[in-house]
C-alpha cells in the first residue's frame, strides 16, 4: 500500500517517558567497541561504573522509544538509515528519566522505483525540570515506497573536502558487533538474520548505521575533542554504504575553526560509508 502523505506528515509521539540506567550506558559503550582493551582507562570509563561517562552518540537510542514509522505503510524490508543529525544542548547523563517528543517533519517522493525520504525530529528533555538535553533528526530511506505523489526531495549541498585530512583515526569492529549493538534497542533482523539480510539485498547481516555513527563519534571525541565528551555540540552525517561486522572503520577529519568535516570508510574495501559529515566542537 502506498504512503499517504497527509497521514504520515501528521504523525507525532508526544510526552513519552523514557528512562535508562548506567548498565544501559555500559551496554551502548560495548556496542560501539569500547573495552576491547580492558587496560585502556580512557575506554574503560564508558563501560565501567566507576567515574562513568556517556558517549554523546548514545542519544540516538532515544529514537527507538518513539518508533513513528512502525505506524506507516512502508516496506520495512527495504528500509535503511539515510542520515542522522544530533544537536547537544546539555551533556548526556549516564542514567536518568526523560521526556521525548517526536514528529515527522518531512516526507519526500523520489519517484516510482526510487524510494521515499522520511525525516523525523525528536526532542529530549529531563523529566525532573524540563531541561533540554538534545535534539535529533533521523532520515529514513524507504527504498520500496516511491511514487506516492509527494513533494520532491530538496537538493542538499554536499560538503566539499579538499586536501589531505588533518586527522585520521582507525577503529576495528568485531564480528559480533551488530549482535551486541542491537541490545541497545534496534532489533531489525537486517543486522542479525542472514536470510533476512539476503532478502534485503545484502550478502550477510550489516552493522547498524547507528553503530557506525557511534564509532565515527568515538573518533571525533578521541581525536578532535581530546577525549572530552563535553566539547561536542553537533554531530551530523549521511550514510552512503553499509559496514559489515569485523571491518575496520577509518574516519578522516578536516578542521575549519569550530567545525569539523569528516568522512568514514572501511579499510578492507576502501569504501566510503559515511559522507557529508559535519560536527561542531567547542
Catalytic residues: 186, 191, 206, 209
The cell for 226 is 581530546
232/91 Cα distance (integer angstroms): 9
232/274 Cα distance (integer angstroms): 18
Tell me the β-bridge partners of 266: 249, 271
185 phi, psi to nearest 5 deg: 140, -15
> What is the DSSP-derived secondary structure letter of residue 145?
-
> What is the DSSP-derived secondary structure letter of residue 77?
G
Q: Vertex 63, ends 224 and 225: CA angle to 5°?
A: 10
97 phi, psi to nearest 5 deg: -120, 135
Strand ranges (DSSP E) for the chain? 12-20, 79-88, 96-109, 116-126, 132-142, 167-172, 232-239, 248-256, 259-266, 271-281
178/40 Cα distance (integer angstroms): 22
221/279 Cα distance (integer angstroms): 10
Tell me the β-bridge partners of 192: none
Amino acid at each position: 500500500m502506498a504512503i499517504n502523505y497527509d497521514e504520515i506528515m501528521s504523525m507525532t509521539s508526544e510526552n513519552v517517558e523514557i528512562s535508562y540506567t548506567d548498565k544501559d550506558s555500559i551496554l551502548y559503550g560495548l556496542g560501539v567497541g569500547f573495552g576491547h582493551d580492558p587496560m585502556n582507562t580512557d575506554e574503560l570509563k564508558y563501560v565501567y561504573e566507576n567515574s562513568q561517562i556517556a558517549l554523546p552518540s548514545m542519544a540516538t537510542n532515544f529514537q527507538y522509544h518513539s518508533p513513528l514509522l512502525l505506524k506507516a505503510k512502508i516496506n520495512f524490508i527495504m528500509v535503511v538509515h539515510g542520515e542522522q543529525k544530533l544537536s547537544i544542548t546539555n551533556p548526556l547523563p549516564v542514567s536518568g528519566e526523560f521526556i521525548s517528543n517526536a514528529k515527522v517533519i518531512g516526507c519526500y517522493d523520489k519517484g516510482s522505483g526510487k524510494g521515499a525520504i522520511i525525516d523525523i525530529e525528536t526532542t529530549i528533555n529531563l523529566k525532573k525540570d524540563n531541561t533540554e538535553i538534545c535534539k535529533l533528526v533521523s532520515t529514513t530511506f524507504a527504498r520500496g515506497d516511491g511514487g506516492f505523489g509527494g513533494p520532491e526531495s530538496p537538493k542538499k549541498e554536499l560538503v566539499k573536502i579538499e586536501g589531505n585530512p588533518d586527522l585520521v583515526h582507525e577503529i576495528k569492529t568485531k564480528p559480533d558487533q551488530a549482535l551486541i549493538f542491537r541490545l541497545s534497542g534496534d532489533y531489525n533482523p537486517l543486522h542479525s538474520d542472514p536470510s533476512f539480510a539476503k532478502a534485503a539485498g545484502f550478502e550477510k547481516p550489516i552493522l547498524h548505521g547507528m553503530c557506525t555513527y557511534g564509532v565515527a563519534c568515538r573518533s571525533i571525541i578521541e581525536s578532535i575533542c581530546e577525549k572530552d565528551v563535553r566539547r561536542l555540540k553537533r554531530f551530523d552525517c549521511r550514510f552512503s554504504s553499509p559496514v559489515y561486522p569485523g571491518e575496520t572503520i577509518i574516519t578522516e577529519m578536516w578542521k575549519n575553526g569550530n567545525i569539523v568535516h569528516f568522512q568514514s570508510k572501511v579499510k578492507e574495501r576502501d569504501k566510503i560509508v559515511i559522507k557529508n559529515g559535519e560536527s561542531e566542537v567547542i
